Amino acid sequence: MENVGNVLMQKYEFGKMLGQGNFAKVYHGRDLKSGESIAIKVIDKEKVLRVGLIDQTKREISVMGLVKHPNIVQLYEVMATKTKIYFAMEYAKGGELFDKVSKGRLKEDIARKYFQQLICAVDFCHSRGVFHRDLKPENLLLDDNGSLKVTDFGLSVHSSCTRIDGLLHTTCGTPAYVAPEVISRKGYDGAKADIWSCGVILFVLLTGHLPFNDSNIIQMYKKISKADYKCPNWFPPEVRRLLKRILDPNPVTRISMKKIMENPWFRRGLDTKQTSNTVEKEMPSINADAVFSPSEKSFEPKKPDFTKVSSLNAFDIISLSTGFDLSGLFVENDEKDEVKFTSTEPASAIISKMEQIATRLKLEVGMKKGGQLKFRRPSEGRNGPLSIDVEIFEITSSFHLVEVTKSCGDTLEYQKILKQDIRPALKEIVWAWHASDWKLSDGYTTFDSVVIPDVDVASSLNHHLESAFGKRFEIKL
């Protein structure tokens, strides 16, 4: 048993530790006023700041404030000190659903009950514009009545975060549960991606094993991209038909939440109260910014910061290898008119340098939020006007990846500008141009020549890898 002091903020009493991760520990707690059991998640603020997970933590807080539902773990309150962040949450005494499944497949009626509760919870999230993006049995808890509770909204996102094309573009989740379009790097519908994950969970509940599994992750993704799975002979035909519609690799034709909830097999024994999107008692609104705000001044409206860039996760980092490039499953080789480089300069300096190059080359410059720039040459070439996209990603605050891509126009013209003008001009800010020297062998992935500039970058990379793949990797500086 581990304690972190007896009482938190004169409100909650700490008990034994229930679990821990890289940046957080979860304790059993008790509300001193009501006597109710709660879970207290304690996050190390310094570590979160160091590896650039501030936005992810804020998003988790904001999203959990939006989704008040009987089948979703409730966030009661968020508190913070100079060094720690505390989530006071609903306590799910029954533990993870994963523990039940790990002992073997569930009976059909039990599996259907959990699937019904899962679909109702996720459908409620979608009705509030929230996409979970990491649905799996490990993130489904059970209360003392055996009711399912969706938890861990660390990778969730609101629909307001979609790009101009109306799609999400961050590749995230857990490999075996992720939808094929999520790893295509062409954008995806968050609701349809969640539906796919729910289908994988249903298969796991009924069989006790994954529909897509392989020791070589590339081979596993190939199976996912083709929906290459086999139902056991004893599978009820109606479940087989439902799964075929959920695990449809084409998100456009994939079944919707509404159609799932109208399915006869799904509705069998369904508590109609579950489908009414019943909201539990309202809790006080939670200000996510306050957790990291040094003073009240930070609550003042701020101007958009165009130098704020997207963060990379494990999927993105690993897919930088041509041997491990997941987009190769979906994109033809001749479509990949792109180069990448890393830099230890701040995003503002990289943007400034790119704008200088564009001005010198007489290219029009368009600026978007999230560290995205678009260069365009007004005069048309053989294949129309040349357009170059530049996107900056943050690995840590002191280490960035920059992707330069030809979005349209003549390839020869693009290659000439890249070789003669852009690459030489970037010399002073480039740490290293991306090399294709990561490789796959015997089901394992080796990274032979990855340049890692400091300990923080290595720590951030290992955190992302562990979150996505469930194990730690050896990274040598």
CA atoms of 101 and 111, how far apart (whole Å): 10
Beta carbons within 8 Å of 24's beta carbon, 6+ residues apart:
41, 42, 43, 44
- Say which CATH class 95-276 falls into: mainly alpha
CA atoms of 446 and 19, how far apart (whole Å): 30
Instruction: Catalogue the active-site residues.
Output: 134
For domain 7-91, the question of CATH label 3.40.50.300 is answered with no
Spell out a b/e string for 266-287, using b for 16 or more CB atoms within 10 Å of the CB, else e: beeebeeebbeeeeeeeeeebe
pLDDT for the residue numbered 311: 59
Structure tokens at 396: 């840590």
| pTM more than 0.75 | no
The domain spans of the chain are: 7-91, 95-276, 310-469
Q: Is 41 labelled a binding residue?
A: yes
Q: What CATH homologous superfamily does 310-469 map to?
A: Kinase associated domain 1, KA1 (3.30.310.80)
Q: For 319-428, where are the alpha helices, taking DSSP H only?
A: 347-360, 411-417, 423-425
Please identify every stretch of the chain with a pLDDT value under 70, giving residue numbers as ranges.
1-5, 273-290, 293-337, 367-371, 379-383, 396-397, 434-477
Q: How far apart are the first and last CA of the chain?
A: 35
Q: Is 111 exposed, middle or buried (0-12, 13-18, 19+ CB in 10 A)?
A: buried
Per residue in 146-204, pLDDT (tens digit) is 999 999 998 899 998 888 888 998 888 888 999 999 988 788 999 999 999 999 999 99
